Amino acid sequence: MTRILSLLVLVIGATSMPAQDPQSLAGRRVVFLGDSITQAGGYIGYLTHHLETNYPKLDFDFLGLGLASETLSGLSEDGHAGGKFPRPCLFERLDRVLEKAKPEVVVACYGMNDGIYLPLGKERFGKFQSGVEKLIKQSQAAGVKRIVLVTPPIYDFAAKPGEFNYDSVLAEYAKWERSLKVPGVEVIDLHTPMRAARDARKEPFSKDKVHPGDDGQFFIAGVILKAFGESLPAESLKAVREAPIFKLVEEKRRLRSAAWMKHIGYTREATFPPQPLGSAENDAAKIQARIDALRRAK
């Protein structure tokens, strides 16, 4: 409990570009794009649970479409995945995401894979910048009115003096994203408060330096909520995960994400062509009815 409270205090002290009231997301299709951290989806579940329980009369349509290993830069290191396949790039599938899912809001969190774990390089940095700009342009051309860029999480590594730390690359990527001033685009700085929180605690957020565990995903959700001007969840991580509504929210999130990923199609270790959506939305609606019965019981 003490560790979670300390973590939330650090979130409260974080700064980011002010975003709109979270209630403005109600009734809108919000698509989350990103790499494996977004595909894991924990922070999307925590966001959804918080908003649905705190605004029981409102409906939220959050769809997680992150893809493991994905980049905006189109780069891939030699021997990625043991040489089995290069990193996928969002732009192989973005047109289909925009056409099929028709998001009104896009939330995108990239950068972790875009520097391909090498020191900062002008060409690699330029490809990340071009990828961000292409994501904005392509989304806006498809009618997306609101784009929220979340700066990359930290590379959870305590370097020795003089030793290369990939997190320094992510810090530069985050700094550049924070400098963007584009109409219709908001930037939420995740990297800075996550770095501060990590420096203030003994335990890592990520056992493998890249993928945050449950408390890391919970932290990400807290930063995003704070940027939206929302009060942070008072419950502990344990209490949230044990809540009946949260378990249903997660069931629905996983069902929809899996179905929509297949519906859109993607290329990673192989090419998976688009498939019919089937009964996924009807099945999700049944779970949502159970969620609504719980959150609107009072």
Burial of 112 (0-12, 13-18, 19+ CB in 10 A): buried
* Tens-digit pLDDT profile for residues 227-279: 998 876 678 999 999 999 999 999 999 999 999 999 999 999 999 999 999 99
Q: Where are the alpha helices (DSSP H) in the chain?
A: 2-12, 36-40, 42-54, 94-101, 122-141, 167-178, 191-199, 214-227, 237-242, 244-264, 280-295
Residue with tokens 């963007």: 180
| Segment holding 271, helix H or strand E | strand 271-272
60/33 Cα distance (integer angstroms)? 17
11/193 Cα distance (integer angstroms)? 6
Per CATH, domain 2-295 is 3.40.50.720? no
DSSP string computed for 93-146: THHHHHHHH--SEEEEE--TTTTTTS---HHHHHHHHHHHHHHHHHHHHTT--E
38/204 Cα distance (integer angstroms)? 19
Average pLDDT rounded to a whole number, residues 134-162: 95
**pTM reported for the whole predicted model:** 0.92
What pLDDT, on the 0 to 100 scale, is given for residue 100? 98
